[in-house]
Amino acid sequence: MPVPRAEWGHRAVAIPAAWAGSFFLLACLLATQQTMPGDTIPVELPSIEFVLGLFAAAALASIFGMLLSAIPILGGVAFMATVGRWSPGLRHPAIWALAGAAMCAGAVLGPGGGADSPPALALVFTGAACAALARRYVHWPEFEE
């Protein structure tokens, strides 16, 4: 019985890469809220400058996030699509999210990494979110998913 090839195209890489910066920015805000509650967004109604600053930060984060994440996402999609050829259990979106989180956790826990900082937690969340989103665009046509 032939092993099915995974079908995936540019959307499996481009869409998660486009969202990576925004995921990271949102996760940084949430991680900062959890680790340092006094240093985050004020409780009172924010000014228009603050809101415009968040929009500008989201736009810049999207651009830089796409540039920084495209190659790791491409490698992860190629690897997970290939592994999914041999084991249908590894096609589940939760497995893909765990693989994305593990890949980023490996980068965070590497030499000199600090796993307890908000950017480190945000990177792990971003890896999981991008991997789960990429899985949406990968299909194995000869098997039922």
In a domain, residue 5? The reply is no
Classified as helix, coil or strand, 144 is coil
The pLDDT assigned to 5 comes to 65
In a domain, residue 18? The reply is yes
- Residues found in the chain: 145
Residue 106 belongs to domain spanning: 11-38+46-135
Q: Which helix (H) or strand (E) holds 83?
A: helix 48-86
In a domain, residue 1? The reply is no
Classified as helix, coil or strand, 5 is coil
Band (pLDDT 50/70/90 cuts) for residue 31 is: confident
The pLDDT assigned to 8 comes to 78
In a domain, residue 142? The reply is no
Band (pLDDT 50/70/90 cuts) for residue 132 is: very high
Q: Number of structural domains, the chain?
A: 1
Its pTM surpasses 0.85: no
In a domain, residue 6? The reply is no
Amino acid at 19: W
Band (pLDDT 50/70/90 cuts) for residue 113 is: low
In a domain, residue 108? The reply is yes
Average pLDDT over residues 42-49: 74
In a domain, residue 2? The reply is no
